[in-house]
Amino acid sequence: MSLLSRLRCITVDVTGTLIAYKGELGDYYCMAAKAVGLPCPDYKRVHEGFKLAYTEMAKKHPCFGFAAKMPNIVWWKTCVRDSFVRAGYEYDEDMFEKIFRRIYASFGSSAPYTVFADSQPFLRWAREKGLKVGIISNAEYRYQDVILPALGLNQGSEWDFGVFSGLEGVEKPDPRIYKIALERAGDIAPEETMHIGDSMRKDYVPAKSVGMNALLLDRFKTPDAEEWRKSGAIVLPDLVAVQQLLSSGK
The tens digit of pLDDT for each residue in 84-110 reads 999 999 999 999 999 999 999 999 999
Residue that terminates a domain, selected from 108, 137, 157: 108
Residues 240 and 136 in one domain: yes
CATH of the domain at 13: 3.40.50.1000
* Cis peptide bond upstream of 173, omega within 30: yes
Residues 197 and 89 in one domain: no
Residues in a beta bridge with 135: 12, 162
Residue that terminates a domain, selected from 108, 140, 163: 108
Q: Please, are residues 29 and 46 in contact by the beta-carbon 8 Å criterion?
A: yes
Q: What total number of domains does the chain contain?
A: 2
Residues 16 and 41 in one domain: no
Residues 82 and 137 in one domain: no
CATH of the domain at 88: 1.10.150.720
Residue that terminates a domain, selected from 66, 90, 108: 108
Q: What does the pLDDT read at residue 198?
A: 98
Residues 8 and 126 in one domain: yes
* Alpha helix ranges (H) inside 165-224: 165-168, 176-185, 205-209
The Cα 228–Cα 247 span in angstroms is 23
Question: What is the pTM (predicted TM-score) of this model?
Answer: 0.94
The Cα 66–Cα 88 span in angstroms is 29
Q: Please, are residues 205 and 173 in contact by the beta-carbon 8 Å criterion?
A: yes
Residues 178 and 225 in one domain: yes
Residues 47 and 141 in one domain: no
Burial class (CB in 10 A: 0-12, 13-18, 19+), 117: exposed
Residues 86 and 196 in one domain: no
Supply the mean pLDDT for the chain.
95
The Cα 74–Cα 147 span in angstroms is 19
Q: Please, are residues 69 and 98 in contact by the beta-carbon 8 Å criterion?
A: no
Residues 100 and 172 in one domain: no
Residues 130 and 40 in one domain: no
pLDDT 10s digit of each residue in the chain, 250 long? 788 999 999 999 999 999 999 988 888 998 999 999 999 999 999 999 999 999 999 999 999 999 999 999 999 999 999 999 999 999 999 999 999 999 999 999 999 999 999 999 999 999 999 999 999 999 999 999 999 999 999 999 999 999 999 999 999 999 999 999 999 999 899 999 999 999 999 999 999 999 999 999 999 999 999 999 999 999 999 999 999 999 986 6
Could you report the per-residue pLDDT of 15-35, keeping only the tens digit for each?
A: 999 999 998 888 899 899 999
Q: What does the pLDDT read at residue 249?
A: 67
Residues 66 and 16 in one domain: no
Residues 55 and 15 in one domain: no
Domain residues for 169? 3-20+114-247
For the chain, counts of helices (H) and of strands (E): 13, 8
